[in-house]
Amino acid sequence: AQSVAQPEDQVNVAEGNPLTVKCTYSVSGNPYLFWYVQYPNRGLQFLLKYITGDNLVKGSYGFEAEFNKSQTSFHLKKPSALVSDSALYFCAVTGDSNYQLIWGAGTKLIIKP
Amino acid sequence: EPEVTQTPSHQVTQMGQEVILRCVPISNHLYFYWYRQILGQKVEFLVSFYNNEISEKSEIFDDQFSVERPDGSNFTLKIRSTKLEDSAMYFCASSPSRQITQPQHFGDGTRLSIL
């Protein structure tokens, strides 16, 4: 069965420091991986995706994510955090057997000035 | 940038009543989805819809639920005889194709509260 794990409920980072939000997955076949961000009272905004190709994927707002097949991980990163990055971040995966997105539980990212 | 719009933003309904949640997908998109997020829990897939038919549905999407595209622009989720546990945020999404390279675009959601 497909699954996604986001092991941290919350990540606290000082503004200007690098941030990492962790995601691991389990899927049969090739994984297709996504990161979405949710601001308060808003929907889910697409940040970036890994389909194939380079393991380092760049997305919106300076975020990037690294696909690691051996560790089945797709951690979200940003070199220098902004207070405005504070939000809820969701990792999602689907396999090539269907197109249902399976979601992680979400990680609350708090960036402190 | 075109957006998926959902109405209402908040719906309060008595248990046992029917509720219809409305979505206007992005105009040139062909695939439509409903997800729900119970407070404090994961986002869960409910159903996908293409060419006026359900493409896939989850175990959650039982006979209580139905979807429809009544007029070529709106995409609705109907919940018959609502239960307390139907209280959640319901998100509509659309994508231009079923290719996984095309990400799904989400609306801001409808918060459904069942009393």
A chain contacts of residue B56, beta-carbon cutoff 8 Å: 98-100
Contact assessment for residue B57 and residue B5, using Cβ atoms and an 8 Å cutoff: no
Q: With CA atoms as reference, report the closest residue to A48 among A30, A38, A35.
A: A35
Average confidence (pLDDT) over B87-108: 88
Question: pLDDT band at residue B70, thresholds of 50, 70 and 90?
Answer: confident
Retrieve residue B7's tokens: 């109405």
Looking at residue A96, its pLDDT comes to 61
**In chain B, pLDDT over 70 holds for what percent of residues?**
97
Q: With CA atoms as reference, report the closest residue to A43 among B110, B39, B29, B102.
A: B110
At A35-67, the pLDDT tens digits run: 999 988 788 899 999 988 889 999 999 999 999
Looking at residue A99, its pLDDT comes to 66
Interface test with B, best of A2, A50, A57, A100 (most B CBs within 10 A): A100
Name residues whose C-beta falls within 8 Å of residue A8's C-beta, 6 or more positions apart in sequence. Answer: A21, A22, A107
At A3-31, the pLDDT tens digits run: 899 999 999 999 999 999 999 999 888 88
Retrieve residue A80's tokens: 């220098």
Q: What is the average pLDDT score of chain B? A: 92
Residue with tokens 């409903």: B34
Beta strands in B1-115, from DSSP E residues, in sequence order: 5-7, 10-13, 19-24, 31-37, 43-50, 53-57, 65-68, 75-79, 88-95, 105-106, 110-114
**Single-letter residue type at B76:** T
Residue B48: CB atoms within 10 Å = 26
Residues 88-107 of A with CB under 8 A from B: 90, 92, 94, 96, 98-106
Lowest mean pLDDT among A33-37, A89-93, B68-72: B68-72
Name which residue leads in pLDDT, B76 or A52.
B76
Name residues whose C-beta falls within 8 Å of residue B84's C-beta, 6 or more positions apart in sequence. Answer: B15, B114
The sign of the torsion formed by the CA atoms of A18, A22, A27, A33 equals negative
**In chain A, pLDDT over 90 holds for what percent of residues?**
73
Looking at residue A51, its pLDDT comes to 87
Retrieve residue A36's tokens: 């979405």
Q: How far apart are CA A31 and CA A10, in angstroms?
A: 25
Give B16 to chain A, closest Cα distance, Å. Answer: 27
Q: What is the average pLDDT score of chain A? A: 92
